[in-house]
With several copies, the nearest count.
Chain A
Amino acid sequence: SAETAAYVLGLGDDALIYAQRLGEWISRAPQIEEDMALGNIGLDLLGQARALLTRAGQLDGTGRDEDRLAYFRDEREFRCVHLVQQPRGDFAHEMARLLWFSSYQTELYAALAGSADEIVAGVARKATKEVSYHRDHARQWMLRLGDGTTQSHERMQDALNWVSGYTSELFFDDRVSVAAADSGIGVLPSRLLSGATQFVQSVVAEATLVMPDPPLQNARGGRDGVHSQAMGYLLAEMQHIARSHPDATSW
């Protein structure tokens, strides 16, 4: 159905756009090992995105392939959350984002391993191990930064406060998710909240940090294609060469 396709597309877009942001770290990380680690996480997400977009293009009946969906959709047609769109901040901001996103994805893929859509289930089963590694990577850095120097502690706390304005959107039961959950293909986002939050809380405590107060402002609208300002610029960059060669059939 259209809802199922849109649901899968949203999951794929989250992975695609976050992979795009993580790719920006390559050659800009605090140490060479981290260029590699963030590149690896980006590659895992890109792999998930390709599989999910391909599936979405089958489910929606348009037959669009992964590249058609990634490069030739307009901003309003993307369904990713604002969290993954945010411009690359400092390393603490990236780790705060990664901790929440990987904690969410860990719960998500665990649930989707039993999806009624065999392909989605397959993607989820393969990705489960990947995202659990991502989550552990974020956890290790949260500990180092939270329990490192005074400066790193403050920066990590600031980053946690910042990211809190972007997390509720991950767990919001929009119409499409509800429909996908009803059909047995998806899972209700709100069902993932407590597991993800518990993990984050435990890491935050271990890292001598505190969970932020509820944020004044909460990101919303991504699943309806209303994005944060950064998204248009991200797409301009990502799509420019492909859009510049509309008649190219192969790269």
Chain B
Amino acid sequence: RGPGGSFDALLAADQRIEPRDDMPDAYRQTLIRQIAQHAHSEIIGMQPEGNWISRAPSLRRKAILMAKVQDEAGHGLYLYSAAETLGVDRSELLDKLHAGKQRYSSIFNYPTATWADAGAIGWLVDGAAIMNQVPLCRCSYGPYARAMIRVCKEESFHQRQGFEILWTLARGTDRQRAMAQDAANRWWWPALMMFGPPDTGEAATGGHTEQSMAWGIKRFSNDELRQRFVDMTVPQADKLGLTLPDPDLRWNAERGHYDFGAIDWDEFWQVLKGDGPCNSQRIAHRVKAHEDGAWVREAANAYAAKQAARATA
């Protein structure tokens, strides 16, 4: 298409908004917040699994896990770059993360208690993330949509790796199988919470869903995505031979979906507000890395400036 175009016309034609296009400030701010939160989630998300790199029980798994956590760093970079096309820069966004002014996904405030959690995160957390992210590949903002295409491809690879960890454990010794089941028990409900609070019904809390949908940033409601995730995951659990910790979980032939039990939204809000198991630890870990590295970044800048000066001298 030709250069520029009216924001509303582009949206109506389901075309991509690009950085050079005019856009409403609210659209820009919503995207910055969402992309930054997404990028922060990748960066903070390195920690729970990073916790198992040094203790992975086989060298093959260690290599896979190192590569995976490294991919998350890469996803963070793509996403910060996408945010930068909206006129902010990475260091500013990181400062907001560190100061608690921008969020990351609450799921990463849960601890990784055993090796099996490396599997459960891949299977359930990455699985839920993909469900959230696939529609974003058609997001109205071009750079975000393109970043998501790349991210989703790798995430689905990670999801399979997580599934494979649990598959192996579930076919291992009794203690390995118990470890896999325990991880599924602990991660199932937090994974369901990843889709956010209900959009409608008693538990709905307003939120930005309607506007985001109108802007082509969001394509499906939280509850729709959650239902899809449940429908996709229950048969996978069967295949693994693991039970999901919900006595109300059963196929509803009439709806053509799985019914599932009530989510504990009190827990969701508690973790979101800061009283999760690992909230302060995650930020402290991140801030420490950032502060410990300040002198290195300064040196790199000073060197680059000297080199530039030498080149022009």
Interface residues of A (CB under 8 A from B): 16, 20, 23-24, 26-36, 39-40, 42-43, 46-47, 49-50, 53, 66-67, 70-71, 74-76, 90-92, 143-145, 147-149, 151-152, 155, 165, 216-221, 225-229, 232, 236-238, 240-242, 245, 247-251
B293 near A29: Cβ-Cβ < 8 Å:
yes
B114 near A76: Cβ-Cβ < 8 Å:
yes
A36 near B63: Cβ-Cβ < 8 Å:
no
26 contacts between A and B (CB under 8 A): A23-B66, A26-B66, A30-B296, A36-B70, A39-B66, A39-B73, A46-B62, A46-B63, A67-B59, A70-B59, A75-B114, A91-B292, A144-B300, A147-B306, A217-B274, A217-B275, A217-B276, A220-B277, A226-B113, A229-B278, A229-B281, A232-B55, A236-B55, A238-B54, A241-B115, A248-B173
Tell me the interface secondary structure of chain A in the complex. helix
- The contact of B63 among A43, A53, A219, A238, by CB within 8 Å, is A43
A71 CA to B56 CA, complexed, in Å: 10
| 15 further contact pairs, Cβ within 8 A, besides A43-B70, A91-B292 | A16-B59, A23-B62, A26-B53, A27-B286, A30-B292, A32-B43, A36-B74, A43-B67, A91-B293, A144-B304, A152-B296, A217-B274, A236-B55, A242-B58, A245-B173
A76 near B113: Cβ-Cβ < 8 Å:
yes
Residues of B within 8 A of A155 (CB): 295
A240 near B55: Cβ-Cβ < 8 Å:
yes
Interface residues of B (CB under 8 A from A): 43, 46-47, 50-51, 53-63, 66-67, 69-70, 73-74, 76-77, 80, 111-115, 165, 168-169, 171-173, 175-176, 179, 182, 186, 273-281, 285-286, 288-289, 292-304, 306
Assess A91 versus B296: contact at CB under 8 Å? Given A238-B55, A245-B57.
yes
Q: Specify the chain B residue showing the minimal Cβ separation from A35.
A: B73
A188 CA to B53 CA, complexed, in Å: 34
Residues of B within 8 A of A33 (CB): 77
Residues of B within 8 A of A245 (CB): 57, 173, 175-176
Residues of B within 8 A of A16 (CB): 59
A20 near B54: Cβ-Cβ < 8 Å:
yes
Assess A152 versus B46: contact at CB under 8 Å? Given A39-B66, A242-B57.
no
Smallest beta-carbon distance A135→chain B, Å: 19
Q: Specify the chain A residue showing the minimal Cβ separation from B47.
A: A27
Please name the 6 residue pairs, one residue from A and one from B, whose CB atoms are nearest each other, closest first: A30-B293, A148-B299, A152-B299, A30-B296, A39-B70, A144-B303
A152 CA to B179 CA, complexed, in Å: 45
B292 near A31: Cβ-Cβ < 8 Å:
no
- The contact of A227 among B47, B111, B279, B289, by CB within 8 Å, is B111
Smallest beta-carbon distance B311→chain A, Å: 14
Assess A27 versus B57: contact at CB under 8 Å? Given A145-B296, A152-B298, A229-B51.
no
